[in-house]
A and B are shown apart, each in its own frame.
Chain A
């Protein structure tokens, strides 16, 4: 099945951003050293401290709002109709 993206602007922008990052980043030394990353390991910085609860809230919104996607969820799409 062909994807027909509603807005190919998105696709172009994303490709450009990615290429810039990847090409520019090839020679980059990590400016935040691996041993300086402790803060991100703290559960309060986690994108998903409570997966069951946040999964449920995504469902609550997706069932009642027209928008869907890119919520930080990455699983089964909601078959809302």
Chain B
């Protein structure tokens, strides 16, 4: 089976994993009219699956001033060891690298309006990203309803190890609207919408697609070439959510998201989380999430022809294929009684969360397996994600 290696690369970086930025979660606060709590968190995180091991630490510190302003600083480190399917399939050897990220945010409370803004910067040896964002939350009708609006602007620099001539950028904008509504003393619902639009180099300089050496003879094998992507991508996503409180001190949260973009990807996912408290000090969360997506129109595991020009798109990124994932998660949180209500520390918890994710691809094949071209087994893998962290409130 003839298989020509693509340009020799020192490693195949899965830039899919190193999105420029960690999505900074600004809590869509259930009650608009209060500042986030002052706290500090230290977290160790680990992702292990599909041949990749990524671990690292994250730190968050938040301080409030005059009950009117709130500031936070967050740092995040990812250390990667990867021998994933894309790495192995390209013939490259396992690689290691590190990504560092930090964010700063500020919040202002006036009446039932909350103004939020932040900056995040991320860097690794071949990808730099910066994002600036603003959000406004406003309460209406006695604060039963909260309307939120937000905007983010991102700018990424894409580089390639071993090729100093390569440099490109991505310009990104996000627009968000949301509505949270209290329906009964125990039930709250929300509807959130986000549009993302990007322009620039949207693929991965290390990744290739494969095409038949002879379109009339599949047994002649395949060749590879660098992917060809559109220079723009625009997407819409809307999430419907509900949270219900049980008077015996437990909660049930449900979320459904529908996604669509101009690469023809349609996806939906839903998530159910049940939270139960045991006494004053123990909280247990149980979570199930299911995700499903259709492929991008220019995706294929095996193309018949190579791309003719930069508008003849080709992708073999499994993230753009047709696939589904399922997650089973459990989390335990223990409030340390010794630190409760102290002079400097109000509350302190120690937490462990574990999620098990199954990935099943419907049209991405595992070409590391010995099989006839186009008949390799469909790829699937499991991953475990562990978060272990310690939090204090002061």
Binding site for B on A (CB under 8 A): 1, 3-7, 10, 14, 17-18, 21-22, 25, 28-34, 36-37, 39-42, 44-48, 50-81
Can you list 23 contacts pairing A with B, beta carbon distance less than 8 Å?
A14-B238, A18-B147, A29-B142, A34-B142, A40-B182, A47-B28, A47-B29, A50-B351, A52-B43, A57-B385, A67-B235, A67-B237, A68-B235, A69-B195, A69-B235, A71-B23, A75-B152, A77-B23, A78-B23, A79-B20, A79-B172, A80-B16, A81-B203
Number of B residues near A (Cβ < 8 Å) is: 119
Instruction: Indicate if the CB atoms of B197 and A1 lie closer than 8 Å.
Output: yes
Residue-wise, chain B 252-280 has the 8 Å CB interface mask toward A (1 for contact) of 00010101111001010100000101000
Query: By the criterion CB–CB under 8 Å, are B18 and A63 in contact?
Result: yes
Report the minimal beta-carbon distance from B28 to chain A, rounded to whole angstroms: 5
Contact partner, A28, options B141, B154, B259, Cβ 8 Å: B141
Question: How many Å lie between the Cα of A56 and that of B118 in the bound state?
Answer: 17
Give the docked Cα–Cα distance between A74 and B58 (Å): 19
Known pairs A3-B173, A70-B193; A65 contacts B267 (CB<8 A): yes
Chain A residues near B141: list those with CB within 8 A.
Answer: 25, 28, 30
B residues in contact with A14, CB < 8 Å:
177, 191, 193, 238
Q: Which residues of B contact A3 (CB under 8 A)?
A: 173, 175, 195, 197, 234
Bound-complex Cα distance A48 to B127 (A): 29
Kindly list chain B residues whose C-beta atoms are within 8 Å of the C-beta of A1: 171, 173, 197, 199
Are A81 and B120 in contact (CB-based, < 8 A)?
Answer: no
In the bound complex, what is the Cα–Cα distance between A72 and B23 (angstroms)? 10
3 tightest Cβ-Cβ pairs between the two chains A and B: A75-B24, A79-B20, A76-B131
A10 near B176 with CB under 8 A, answer no
- Contact residues in B for A55 (Cβ distance below 8 Å): 22-25
Q: Does B140 contact A (CB under 8 A)?
A: yes
Select the residue from A10, A21, A81 with max chain B CB neighbours within 10 A: A81
Bound Cα distance from A12 to B29, whole angstroms: 26
Q: Does B145 contact A (CB under 8 A)?
A: yes
Binds A, one of B214-222, B242-250, B300-308, B364-372: B242-250
- Asked if B353 is an interface residue, CB under 8 A from chain A, the answer is yes
